[in-house]
Structures are given as structure tokens and as C-alpha cells.
Structure 1
Amino acid sequence: MIESGLCDAQNFPSSTQSTGGITEIGISSAENSIFLKNISYAEMYAELLSRKHYNLKMIDGALITLLYRFQNENLIAHRLSFFPAPNLEVFQNEPELYMQDELYLEFLDKRIVTVPLRFDFDSGDAFVPVEHPMSHLTLGQYENCRIPVSSAISPYQFISFVMKNFYRTAQTVSSCELTSFPDKFPLTILPEEKTLVHVCTPV
């Protein structure tokens, strides 16, 4: 992705072991307490950026983070986040440098509204049928926004989702082809959750 010009910084994932057969794959600088603070989105973004709490930093400032937790090789939780930059001052200060690029033209479109999103998976005590689906999508940092998702999301599925929905232009489609991985997690959505509007992962 760096070669394509869409990503300008990255932090390689780290793996930590703890008691009970727990393995966490994420970012060495990860600190989840920031997500629980009652602060503005702009403040949270600035803190994430200063701590380098991201796997990928995109050219428009968006931060992508992936955190997976396994117990004895079984997935028990994940947090996959896409945090757009709260503003695009870096690009707006010198727009003439970017106006010839189709992708930057979309970044500078005044109609665009910054909306962070997060795919969470938790098979532990937090899981409550319908109210707190095992796998769910949260939009806009709304505390009670938990749109059911049919299964956990693989890294390839998440990155592909972000690229195809937020960085798709005629130019980038051809210049940033991700290596495809067929890995999928088993379905976890319940019948009663299927009656709601939900997100289906590839099968």
C-alpha cells in the first residue's frame, strides 16, 4: 500500500503472550483506554496519532488499526478500526498541489462527512444476543450502535472493505491490488439477529 502512494506510514504488528493461553496481535503502543475517554473525536484522533496507535496511516490522515486476541489459537476478540482525519487542513492549505489527482479531489469534496467505523468481535461476557452481537459494526463512535455482522472479520476482509469503499477511483483500483487471502471465520450471527438489518461477510 505504501508503494501505491495510499499509505505514508505504518507500524508493524506485535504479538504478546499472557496467561491462559492468550495471544494478542496488535500494536506495541496500543492503549485501549483512550477509546473510553469522554473526549471529542478530534482529541481522540490527535492522541492516537501522537502515540502512533495505528497499523497504517493513509495519505489523507486516516488511521487504520487491527487488534486480534486469541486463546489457544481460537479467536476470542478483535477490534478493527478506521479513523478518518477530523479535517484535511494539510491538503486544504495547498490544494493546487492535489487538485489534479482524482483521489485528492474526493478528499477535498466539502460534502464529505468524517465518520469513524469499527468492527468489533467479542465472544466473552460482553456478548448479549441482539443487544451486543458477538460480531458487530459501530459507526460514528455511538456507544449503542452495534449493527450485527455475520462473523468475525479477517485482516484481508477489513482492509479490502476500507480500500474499496473509501479509496476507490479508476486510478487506485488498478494501482493498489491487494493480495487476496481466502481465510474466513465461522458464522456467529444468531437467527434473531438475522431478522435485523445486518452486515454479511463473504462466505
Structure 2
Amino acid sequence: MNRGALNVKINNLVYDMIKSKISQIYNKSIFFKEKNTISVSVKTRDSISDMTNLVNIIDRYKKFIENKFYNFILFDGALIQIFYRFKEDEIVEHRLAYVPSSITLTSEECYNESIIGMIDMIKDDKIELNKRLNDRATIRFDFDRNNSSEDHPASHLTFISNSCRIPVCSPITPNGFIRFILENFYNFEELLCQKIDIDIIKKICNMKYKLFDKVISDDHKKKLHINYDL
């Protein structure tokens, strides 16, 4: 899959999510030229590094929103971040992240109010903050073709700790990533209560798509790992 086709897939996916009403806030993915590579994202690689270094989960979440580092925001405030990097038409890196809101928010608070304003207001009320503080971990699929070793699989799943790297058989496509998030962190009854178009969500989850080539090493195959064939 070349970078042009992938960018179209990302933006079509965003369109379907907006149409289903599971999201109402989004940014279009575009191309960034960085040295001898092309990134497909909403932000440059360097600017992403600056934002992800924040330790406090509330500050990091706020920074992502302030800098519009998301492809779309789900009805519960969770952010979806999609970043790919290509050298010519070969994928060399990706960062696909599901970032739950650090503070529990309703869909009305996400869409009808300023999310940053709501978070600041809740932070100032210690009782309300204790009720709403959400420590759900970010789920991130990383791929780096040029960085593979025994403790760092080229493609891996990371959560809770940066040293957690569960091997994944190949780079993940945008559709595969969104399907993983929808199937594992949401259920149809919850979505129906939010008046979300379930038919569109089912279409996204059942969509067939071309996979990237497998990159998992023989050593990583001997460990507990993620393998799939959709």
C-alpha cells in the first residue's frame, strides 16, 4: 500500500466515523516531508516527540488536544492518533494510538463544551477530580523497520509501560487498528445509547483490506505474540 492510497484510507475512515456519530471532532491527515521520508499524519514526527514526553497523564492529554494531535475524538473523549512514515513507497514507521480521556467526560461535555475548559474546571475541584480521574492506559501499536532487536520487535503493541513490547506479526493498517479498538473497548449497547449508527460501525469492523507484509522474526515467533489474518 503506497502513501497516497493509505492517506485516502485514513481520511475515508475518519469520514465514516463522523458519519456514524461516534465522533464529531476531527483533523484531516496530510503529507509532511521530513528529510528523505514522507509522513502521513496530522503532525510532524518531531512535534509528536515533544508532546509524548510529558509524564502527567492529564497534562499530556491536554497537550494533545491543544496541539490538535488527533485524527478524531470519540464520544467519550478518547483520542485516535494515526501516524505513518514512508521512504519512497515503503512503510518504515508507524505510531497508532488510542488515548482514553484522563478524566471521564460525557459526550455532551466533549461536543458542547471546551474539553480543555472542562478539564481545568474539574481539576480545580478535588472532590470532582477524584470521582472522574481515569487512569486507563494508552494502547499503542508501534512499527520501526530500522529498529528491531531481541527486546524491541520491529512491530509491537505497547501499553502501561514503554518497556512493554508485545511482538506483532506485521505493521497494522488504519482499518485494522480502528477495528481492534472498536471490538475490544466498546460494545454495541453502549454505542446504541449514544445514538451512534451501528450499521456503519459494523461495516468498519467487517471491512476486508490488504495487509502489510509480515516482519516478525523467528525468535519473536517463539514468544507470546499477536498474529492475525483478516
Would you call these one fold, judging by a TM-score over 0.5?
A: yes
Paired residues for 1:1-203 under 5 Å:
1-20=17-36, 22-28=37-43, 31-90=47-106, 114-124=136-146, 126-128=147-149, 130-140=150-160, 142-170=161-189, 171=192, 173-176=198-201, 177-178=203-204, 180-202=207-229
Higher relative contact order (CA 8 A, sep 6+): 2
AA at the equivalent of 2:96: L
AA at the equivalent of 1:67: F
Shift of 1:147: 0.5
TM-superposition CA deviations, 1:122-173 (whole Å, max 9, x none): 011x321x30000000012x12011100000011101111111122214464
Q: Which runs of 5+ in 1 are unaligned?
A: 94-109
TM-superposition CA deviations, 1:96-116 (whole Å, max 9, x none): xxxxxxxxxxxxxx9x86121
> Identity, % of aligned pairs?
27
Q: Distance in 2 between matches of 1:88 and 1:29?
A: 29
What is the TM-score normalised by the length of structure 1?
0.80
Q: Distance in 2 between matches of 1:57 and 1:91?
A: 10
The SS at the match of 1:160 is: helix
Q: Number of matched residues?
A: 182
Shift of 1:91: 6.1
What is the TM-score normalised by the length of structure 2?
0.71
The SS at the match of 2:164 is: coil
Q: Distance in 2 between matches of 1:81 and 1:184?
A: 19
The SS at the match of 2:137 is: coil
* Distance change (3 Å), C-alpha of 1:4 and 1:24: same
Q: Distance in 1 between matches of 2:54 and 2:78?
A: 21
Q: Distance in 1 between matches of 2:54 and 2:42?
A: 23
Contact preservation (8 Å) 1:27, 1:54? yes
